[in-house]
Amino acid sequence: MTYTIPRARTVLLTCALAGFAALWLALAQRPELRVNGRVVNPRVAPFVTADDHLYLPVRGIARRVGGEVVLDPSKREVILLRGRTVVRFRIGDRYANLNGRAIELSRAPFVLHGRTMVDAAIISRAFAVHVAYEKAKNRVDILTPGLNFQSVAKPR
């Protein structure tokens, strides 16, 4: 019996299939999203990967925390604005620009069903909010500092 190296096409198809399966499983566990104490139902729900990595839909959150999202489809660039904070990044790129400084992201942003999905840390830095995921309750809380909420647990 001899070992034959698989063709590149076979390897790519296998990786793509595994990626889609992982994404499908992650999307099956849709956490509840609360922004400043109110339940939000964006068109594309946030999701948590198998390794507990949280992705959020940027536009749906931006409007609710007083931020803006500017898209440049030709460059695949997204600009997040809130107050004096400006974050620029490209879809699929792990490098971003925060107020003129280059930063490295833990995960690259991507598009899912026409919505830009980003790592929770980008939302936190761009919009100066606290993002907390409670695994036991399968809930994401996004809180703007300085506001008083009685029914929402503060992030740790």
Q: What is the pLDDT of residues 15-71, one digit of tens each?
A: 888 877 777 655 556 788 999 999 998 888 898 887 888 999 999 899 899 899 999
Q: Which domains does the chain have, with CATH numbers?
A: 30-143 (3.30.457.10)
> Measured at the alpha carbon of residue 9, what is the angle toward residues 5 and 14, in degrees to the nearest 5?
85
Total residue count of the chain as it appears in this document: 156
User: Tell me, what amino acid is at 104?
Assistant: E
Q: What is the pLDDT of residues 76-93, one digit of tens each?
A: 999 999 999 999 999 999
pTM exceeds 0.75, yes or no: no
Which one, of 75, 112, 105, 68, lies nearest residue 90 by Cα?
75
- Can you give the pLDDT at residue 27? 59
DSSP 22: H
CA–CA distance, 30 with 60 (Å, rounded to integer) = 15
User: Tell me, what amino acid is at 22?
Assistant: A
CA–CA distance, 38 with 111 (Å, rounded to integer) = 25
